[in-house]
């Protein structure tokens, strides 16, 4: 029975390529081959334009036909505040209608003019330091770099770049409010299980740049979403110790530069929240593509009674297996790192590579 599990990568050295794109066409600000840092603007666009409808005929006190004949602007023309939009013929009592703001003419019809106000462009940052290896039209870029990668299961949608500070000494340690210290200002913290929403409040007051947690109760999701910094859960919701693969990599990365991109997990695209540690040096292989589960694969158990456990697949059953509650499901036998062997539904396994 074939099964392609979701895959989370925990890689000490790999090459990543990440797209950074605008939600609509704009202007790309860098060139292919250029090196960028995390804060480099790579593209910009006016994502929130404002429009002003001007009734020129009413303002000049004439009918629409006459106002149309007095128009001095065209569609696509850029106007400065005070530029003439329409004017009566020269004479003693000449009437002039002027633009109330900077903007672009997008419609001229009868005695009406639609003006798109000039507003501040939204800038897209690189987020990932590295080399621009491709330009995606007028939408964005592809950035490539070498480094270590740890992917998680949930993120609050924010991103940052900073220095990692490891706060846990064991995979099942809890991060508590009393450990939030001013000495952590500006750092990206690695904590364990978070049970207290006060952690987010105090972290924002310090402030820290980001939080990487093993897990937290689902009741804290709202607090994590409101945090002004990125939050990533390596092992998801609950009270789950950090899986050994991620713990080993993160706990040995203290004081390393890190990109924390806590983007939401997208089942269809494979995008996940992740921590990336850029490293100068020779490139390595790209992360392998998702594939069918196989014997000897390293997997992560994402359900009770062994949430967060890591082990190797020793058998993939040809037929669905029985589980408590009357459920039958495709399953595999997994040998955990402590030697215990368990049977787990394939839907509750995640490939670790």
Of 27, 278, 35, 37, the closest CA to residue 133 belongs to 35
* Under 8 Å between Cβ of 213 and 191: yes
Correct CATH for 298-352 of 2.60.40, 1.10.3470, 2.30.30, 3.40.190: 2.30.30
Which regions of the chain are under pLDDT 50? 1, 281-283
Q: What is the pLDDT of residue 3?
A: 59
Reduced to 3 states (helix: H, G, I; strand: E, B; else coil), residue 332 is strand
Class at the top of the CATH hierarchy for domain 50-117:
mainly beta
Q: Does domain 9-17+144-278 have CATH number 3.50.30.10?
A: yes
Residues in the chain, how many?
Answer: 353
Q: Do domains 9-17+144-278 and 50-117 have the same CATH topology?
A: no
CA distance 260 to 161: 6
Query: Pairing state of beta strands 140-151 and 78-79?
Result: unpaired
The pLDDT of residue 282 is 45
Q: What is the Cα–Cα distance from 127 to 158, expressed in whole angstroms? A: 11
pLDDT tens digit sequence for 94-144: 889 999 999 999 999 989 999 998 888 889 999 999 999 999 999 999 999
DSSP string, 201-249: HHHHHTT-SEEEESBB-GGGHHHHHHSSS-EEESS-BSS-PPPHHHHHH
d(CA 301, CA 338): 14
Q: How far apart are CA 122 and CA 125, in angstroms?
A: 10
Summarised one tens digit per residue, pLDDT across range 44-100 is 998 888 899 999 999 999 999 999 999 999 999 999 999 999 998 876 578 899 999
Residue 26 near residue 314, CB atoms below 8 Å: no
Q: Which of 163, 211, 136, 161 is nearest to 39 (CA)?
A: 161
Q: Could you give phi then psi for residue 152, rounded to 5 degrees?
A: -120, -165
Cα 98 to Cα 84: distance, rounded to the nearest angstrom: 4
Domain ranges of the chain: 9-17+144-278, 50-117, 298-352
Contacts of 321 (CB under 8 A, 6+ apart): 328, 329, 330, 331, 343, 345
Q: In this structure, what is the dihedral angle of CA atoms 322, 328, 331, 334, given to the nearest 10 degrees?
A: -40
Q: What angle do CA 283, 286, 287 make, to 5 degrees?
A: 135
Note whether 204 and 229 are within 8 A (CB).
yes
- With a CB cutoff of 8 Å and minimum separation 6, the contacts of 128 are 16, 18, 20, 38, 143, 145, 259, 261, 276, 278
Q: How far apart are CA 152 and CA 233, in angstroms?
A: 6
Q: How far apart are CA 260 and CA 158, in angstroms?
A: 8
Identify which of 126, 99, 149, 143 has the alpha carbon closest to the alpha carbon of residue 274: 149
Q: Cα separation of 19 and 127, whole Å?
A: 10
């Amino acid at each position: 029975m074939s099964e392609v599990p979701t895959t989370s990568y925990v890689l000490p050295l790999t090459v990543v390529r990440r797209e950074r794109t605008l939600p609509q066409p704009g202007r790309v600000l860098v060139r292919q081959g250029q090196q960028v840092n995390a804060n480099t603007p790579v593209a910009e666009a006016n994502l929130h334009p404002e429009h002003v409808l001007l009734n020129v005929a009413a303002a000049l006190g004439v009918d629409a036909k006459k106002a149309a004949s007095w128009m001095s602007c065209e569609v696509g023309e850029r106007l400065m505040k005070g530029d003439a939009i329409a004017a009566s013929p020269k004479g003693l009592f000449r009437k002039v209608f002027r633009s109330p703001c900077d903007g672009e003419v997008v419609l001229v019809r009868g005695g009406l003019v639609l003006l798109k106000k000039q507003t501040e462009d939204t800038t897209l940052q690189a987020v990932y330091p590295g080399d621009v290896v491709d330009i995606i039209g007028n939408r964005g870029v592809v950035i490539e770099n070498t480094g270590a990668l740890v992917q998680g299961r949930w993120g609050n949608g924010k991103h940052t770049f900073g220095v990692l500070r490891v706060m846990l000494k064991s995979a099942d340690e809890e991060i508590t409010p009393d450990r939030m210290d001013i000495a952590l200002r500006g750092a990206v913290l690695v904590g364990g299980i978070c049970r207290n929403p006060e952690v987010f409040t105090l972290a924002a007051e310090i402030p820290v740049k980001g939080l990487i947690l093993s897990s937290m109760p689902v009741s804290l999701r709202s607090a994590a979403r409101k945090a002004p910094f990125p939050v990533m859960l390596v092992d998801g919701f609950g009270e789950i110790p950090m899986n050994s693969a991620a713990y080993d990599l993160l706990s040995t990365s203290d004081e390393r530069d890190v990109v924390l991109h806590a983007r939401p997990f997208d089942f269809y695209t494979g995008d996940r929240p992740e921590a990336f540690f850029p490293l100068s040096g020779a490139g390595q292989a790209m992360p392998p593509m998702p594939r069918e589960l196989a014997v000897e694969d390293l997997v992560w158990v994402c359900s009770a009674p062994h949430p967060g456990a890591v082990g190797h697949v020793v058998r993939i059953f040809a037929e669905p297996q029985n589980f408590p509650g009357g459920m039958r499901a495709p399953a595999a036998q997994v040998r955990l790192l402590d030697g215990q062997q368990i049977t787990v539904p394939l839907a509750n396994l995640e490939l670790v590579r």
